[in-house]
Amino acid sequence: MFYADEEIARDIASILSLLLRRYITVAAKVREIHPRNFEQEPAWLLDNSLDFVNRISRSYWEHKPATFVYDFEGVHDIIDYNPPPLGLVPRDLRRHLTALASSHYAEPLVLAARLYSQALRQIEHEPDLAYQSLISCVETIANKALSKYRPEEPDMIRTKKSVFNMATQLVLNRNSAGHWP
- Res. 139: pLDDT tops 90: yes
pTM above 0.75, yes or no: no
Domain ranges of the chain: 5-149
Looking at the predicted structure, is the pLDDT value of residue 73 above 80?
yes
* Structure-model confidence comparison of residues 144 and 36, the more confident one: 144
Other beta carbons within 10 Å of 114? 21
State residue 35's pLDDT score.
Answer: 76
Give the closest residue to 100 by CA, choosing from 110, 92, 89. Answer: 110
- The whole-angstrom separation of Cα 119 and Cα 128 is 9
Instruction: Specify the pLDDT at position 110.
Output: 93
pLDDT value at residue 127: 93
Could you give the dihedral angle defined by the CA atoms of residues 12, 16, 17 and 19, in that order, rounded to the nearest 10 degrees? 140
What are the pLDDT digits (tens) for 148-180?
A: 888 888 888 888 888 888 877 776 655 555 555
Local confidence band at 1 (pLDDT 50, 70, 90 cut-offs): very low
Q: How far apart are CA 135 and CA 116, in angstroms?
A: 9
> For residue 56, what pLDDT is reported?
58
pLDDT tens column, 3-60: 677 888 889 999 999 988 888 888 777 777 777 778 888 777 777 776 655 555 666 6
> Tell me, what amino acid is at 111?
L
